[in-house]
Amino acid sequence: MRMWGWSRLQFPLAAAIAALAALIVPAAAGGRVALVVAEAAYPDSDAVLTTPVGDAGAMAEALRHRGFTVTLAENVGRGALQAAIDRFARTVEPESVALVFFAGYGIQVNRRNYLVPVDARVWSETDVVRDGISVDGLLEILAKRQAGIRVLVLDASRRNPFERRFRSFSQGLAPIPAPQGGIAISVAAAGGLAGDGPGPRSPFVTELVRQIGTDVSVDRVFEAVRDSMAKRGNATPTPAISTDLRETFFFDLDRPRVPMDKPAPAAEAKSAPPAAAKLLPKGDGAMARTQPEALGRDEPLLTRRGEHASAAEAQPTEAYRVDERRGEQERQRLAELDDRISRNSRDEVAYYERGQFHAQRGDAAAAIADFDRSLRLNPTSPEAYNNRCWLHAVAGDLHRALADCDEALKLRPGFLDALDSRGLVNLKSGAFQAAVSDYGEALKRDARHSSALYGRGLALKRLGDVATGEKDITSAKALNPQIDKDFATYGVR
């Protein structure tokens, strides 16, 4: 009887143990692999970026300590970077944990993010797509290789030397959708900018490395980094997190991966760009409409023929999901800004950031109202005056626009963005000689600034110097083929 009774108990217990084991994925299932990239020595930059190489080295060491096989690339051109991506792709096994870290310059085009290698020759948005590495393309590689958990870490939201050649402001990165079955963190929110400090390591990566050494899950690691950066104050941007995790993953090798009850909703965590960024819709009309070639270029070289067709067929559905997630992130971003203002009606940075948000989406009235509030609280911000100048200029309120641009240049003499903005004000008001002067000063600071070239060309033609004006216009269109359409949206033809 006892033997019969034991067997009746044994089989349900064994079944339960088997079921529990099926839910637990060993920490080493599929392996742990990482691509760590640092781009710092850009020839077009005034100086070598101070933190990417040190940050990448610290990340690589921390990840190796946690069992990752690391592919490290530092200060490499596009060919060498693509080769590193291909090597990394070969190490990604089904169900593995695959992490990508990038520190350097990033640029968005048509709401897609591109990572810029040191040898990029960027004079237009087309060049960004040609020479940059598509973030969406990197995530597509992880999807094709069937990585189980996909982790993305971007420290690429820097003001860069390239955008001024075809935009009058640095746009920061576009919203970063969560990798399918994974999680992403960016040093700053969409549109935000983060600067390098004087030391060899950034606060963002220093804190991330520290948290990787703890025994909490990856989502808690990223949240701890975000919260730590938020406590540093307005001078430090708050990182943005987006997640679609389906498993609980720990960097600790002794902790197993456990499937979640249901996928976490893809959502951008609370975050905030700094007040110093100028983020207006100027230049959006010049953005490329599609980038299928870019996605193709960023696939690993090991991709076999025949795989492209299935990927292309699936692309519209995935693109819809990406846009849907980005839309949700933008709604959450606005709600976060509204909440900050409701909690502190004197938060001039929040008003400034909400003004940027509205301006990027074409709501000039709401943007101007927020810049008004921001300037009442901080009347010494040249960026806010310049942004409001631009909005007034596009709207045709040229008297107010000129006053704002003058104030911006009084606060920051030689401010390139404000010179370009005031050039537009003078062009629209018929002060063509003043427009030529402002655009000329802007071009002294950046000889390949497409907006200043085109504006000066129009002003010169209206002054009767048709040949020189056409030369400027031709040069501007070579840099930005959409520049005439941009100016048409500003009310100038």
**292 with 395, same domain?**
no
**44 with 126, same domain?**
yes
Tokens 């101070």 belong to residue: 50
**308 with 397, same domain?**
no
Per-residue pLDDT in tens (0 to 9) along the chain, 493 residues: 333 333 333 434 444 434 444 444 444 456 999 999 999 999 888 789 999 999 999 999 999 999 999 999 999 999 999 999 999 999 999 999 999 999 999 999 888 999 999 999 998 888 999 999 999 999 999 999 999 999 999 999 998 888 878 776 678 898 888 899 999 999 998 888 888 877 899 999 999 999 999 999 999 999 999 999 988 876 678 899 999 999 999 999 999 998 876 444 444 444 433 333 333 433 333 333 223 333 333 333 333 323 333 333 344 444 445 556 666 767 887 888 888 899 888 888 888 888 888 887 778 889 899 999 999 999 998 888 999 998 999 888 999 999 999 999 999 898 888 999 999 999 999 999 999 999 999 999 888 788 899 999 999 999 999 999 999 999 988 888 888 888 988 889 8
Q: Please check whether residue 17 lies inside any domain of the structure.
A: no
State the pLDDT at residue 125. 86
Q: In the listed set 291, 318, 345, which residue is the last one of a domain according to the structure?
A: 318
Instruction: Output 360-367 pairs: Cβ under 8 A, ≥24 positions apart.
Output: 360/191, 360/279, 360/280, 360/281, 360/284, 361/281, 362/281, 364/391, 364/394, 364/395, 367/280, 367/391
What phi and psi, each to the nearest 5 degrees, are found at residue 154?
A: -120, 125
**298 with 390, same domain?**
no
**307 with 450, same domain?**
no
Question: For residue 490, what is the domain's CATH number?
Answer: 1.25.40.10
Q: 299 pairs with which residues across the strands?
A: none
Q: In the listed set 272, 290, 318, which residue is the last one of a domain according to the structure?
A: 318
Torsion of CA 385, 157, 318, 309, to 10 degrees: 120
Q: Please check whether residue 372 lies inside any domain of the structure.
A: no
Q: Which helix (H) or strand (E) holds 378?
A: none
Q: Please check whether residue 364 lies inside any domain of the structure.
A: no
Query: How far, in Å, CA of 85 to CA of 117, rounded?
Result: 12
**59 with 194, same domain?**
yes
State the pLDDT at residue 486. 84
Question: For residue 170, what is the domain's CATH number?
Answer: 3.40.50.1460
Q: Could you give the number of structural domains in the chain?
A: 2
Q: Please check whether residue 187 lies inside any domain of the structure.
A: yes
Q: 153 pairs with which residues across the strands?
A: 101, 185
Q: What is the span of the domain harbouring residue 425?
A: 382-493
Q: Please check whether residue 12 lies inside any domain of the structure.
A: no
Cα–Cα distances in Å, from 274 out to 106, 239, 356, 378, 463?
17, 11, 11, 14, 41
- pTM higher than the cut 0.85: no
